[in-house]
Amino acid sequence: MKANYVSADEIRSDFSAAMSAMYRDEVPAYGTLMSLVARVNDDTLAADPHLQARLAATDSLDRISEERHGAIRLGTPKELSMMRRVFAVMGMYPVGYYDLSTAGVPVHSTAFRPVGDAALKRNPFRIFTSLLRLDLIADETLRNEAAAVLASRQIFTDRAIELVEKAEKDGGLGAEDAAEFVREVLETFRWHDHAIVSAGMYKRLHDAHRLIADVVSFKGPHINHLTPRTLDIDKVQALMPEEGIAPKAVVEGPPTRKCPILLRQTSFKALEEAVSFIGEHGQWKAGSHTARFGEIEQRGIALTPKGRALYDKLLNDTRAVVRPAADGSNAAEYEAALETVFAAFPDDWNEIRKQGLGYFSYSLTEKGRTATVTDTDVEALIADGHLQFDPIVYEDFLPVSAAGIFQSNLGDDATQEFVASPNQVMFERDLGANVLDEFAHYAGIERASIEKCLGTTNMAVAAE
Ligand code: OOG
Ligand code: NI
């Protein structure tokens, strides 16, 4: 990269800040949520100096309450492949494949996110990006009409595309171009309250699935939520009603634990907003649409395939006992079942590590840095106090949780069955690239940390 180019990390940071400002302006309830999150984070830190010190050492404390992710839903392969090129300029790459058809949502998805420690530390902003699957819509006439509407829209500005091409050709963007790029790309995520379909068409799309109406009826893929990080998700969930915002029934993901695993998330329910549909004789027809909401997340350790299989099993076992009702009527019962069933998942870092359930980053202790160590056995080095380990944070998403978030914001009566039909091959073809395998990625980070420790102590042999 040439010296006068703005780094991709910086463009991403500017973009997420611009998006946050736009969304707070568009959805005032989101601003309320942001303030609540900041307040709870401050309180949590004040009550826990140890946590405060650890975060100060590893993270940047002043950015603690900033957005960690957002989500959009795209309509066509062309939109998806162009979006991939847009995100690449900001150092965001497709990681993971999520099939939501199993959960009654006709989309499949990936997460565009920074990869690598330095980029994640600078700004971890990700966009969960879904592609509508018209192939799952039974009604052929409606399918063709929806495809025709989608084919007629252009979700990127001409200038955004020019700047992407320029960045690809030159290998970066200068300061002025980068600022313009952020402004132009933001346009794609903006809310448009004037639909590109009639009220009748909207209704038919909506009857097929609410999500189809959300994707097809508008000029672009409006950002549908943003998600700041909270240090105490249970507290924010409990306090939301006091702030006049309605939380979804339960927190998605694992229960509250001493050693947090994967990802916990919850949201406030999507708001009903006024929109105008194309009417007769050039008139607009008033109506409403429900899609946009706010979410919060709290992340824990990334699990190995073995740990993930255990998580999936325990979640299934819980849901076999109690299925969380959308109206929250059995929320306490669900939480109790979750806690009981998850007692089978070790809640001690060393136990999680020894059983091969989670990924850890290894480093030398003070003692390990100064001693002449000849051992290459990781367990022995830990036992001797030469090596220490920290959990690697999970940076991705969970399909069952994502489905829960989708459902509660599409209207809870909207559950609909689709035949499970994951199609990663089709998704990657439409994307124009392969998605990164999340497990291989975490395993690589863990391996590199071990090799670095052993290399530093002049022990050339890598641990097996
Ligand atoms: C995306 C839902 C998935 C999450 O946090 O799991 C998601 C959507 O509603 O478009 O953002
Ligand atoms: Ni989300």
Q: Work out the average pLDDT over 397-402.
A: 92
The rounded distance, in Å, linking the Cα atoms of 219 and 405 is 23
Contact in structure between 160 and 187 (CB atoms under 8 Å): yes
The rounded distance, in Å, linking the Cα atoms of 111 and 395 is 10
% of the chain surpassing 90 pLDDT = 77
More confidently predicted of 326 and 442: 442
Contact in structure between 347 and 325 (CB atoms under 8 Å): no
Average pLDDT across the chain, whole number: 91
Q: Which residue's CA is the closest to the ligand 1 atom numbered 3?
A: 402
423: helix, coil or strand? coil
Task: Dump pLDDT digits (tens) for 200-247.
Answer: 999 999 999 999 999 999 999 999 999 999 999 999 999 999 999 999
Task: Dump pLDDT digits (tens) for 234-285.
Answer: 999 999 999 999 999 899 999 999 999 999 999 998 889 999 999 999 899 9
- Residue 462: the pLDDT is 39
Q: Which residue's CA is the closest to the ligand 1 atom numbered 6?
A: 402
Q: Is 110 in the pocket of ligand 1 (CB under 6 A)?
A: no
- Residue 315: the pLDDT is 96
Q: Is 402 in the pocket of ligand 1 (CB under 6 A)?
A: yes
pLDDT at 54 over 90: no
- Residue 415: the pLDDT is 58
**How far is the centre of ligand 2, averaged over its atoms, from the C-alpha of 293 (Å)?**
10
pLDDT at 455 over 50: yes
Q: Choose among 192, 208, 189: nearest CA to 105.
A: 208
Q: Which domains does the chain have, with CATH numbers?
A: 8-302+393-433 (3.10.180.80)
% of the chain surpassing 70 pLDDT = 94
- Residue 2: the pLDDT is 55
CA end-to-end span of the chain, whole Å?
A: 36
Contact in structure between 211 and 406 (CB atoms under 8 Å): yes
CA distances from 255 to 196, 294, 440 (A): 42, 21, 26
Q: Which ligand places an atom closest to the C-alpha of 111?
A: 1
Strands 194-198 and 93-99: unpaired
130 CA closest ligand 1 atom index: 10
Q: Which residue's CA is the closest to the ligand 1 atom numbered 4?
A: 402
Q: Which ligand places an atom closest to the C-alpha of 264?
A: 1
Q: Which residue's CA is the closest to the ligand 1 atom numbered 9?
A: 406
Neighbours of 278 (CB within 10 A): 18
Task: Dump pLDDT digits (tens) for 100-118.
Answer: 988 888 999 999 999 988 8
- Residue 403: the pLDDT is 87
Q: Is 71 in the pocket of ligand 1 (CB under 6 A)?
A: yes
What angle separates helix 77-89 from helix 158-170, to the nearest 10 degrees?
Answer: 50
The rounded distance, in Å, linking the Cα atoms of 335 and 329 is 12
Give every CB contact of residue 380 below 8 A, 6+ residues apart in sequence: none
Q: Is 406 in the pocket of ligand 1 (CB under 6 A)?
A: yes
**How far is the centre of ligand 1, averaged over its atoms, from the C-alpha of 226 (Å)?**
9
Q: Work out the average pLDDT over 284-288.
A: 96
Q: Is 128 in the pocket of ligand 1 (CB under 6 A)?
A: yes
Q: Which ligand places an atom closest to the C-alpha of 406?
A: 1
Contact in structure between 221 and 186 (CB atoms under 8 Å): no
pLDDT at 38 over 80: yes
- Residue 463: the pLDDT is 41
Task: Dump pLDDT digits (tens) for 125-174.
Answer: 999 999 999 988 889 999 999 999 999 999 999 999 999 999 999 999 99
pLDDT at 424 over 90: yes
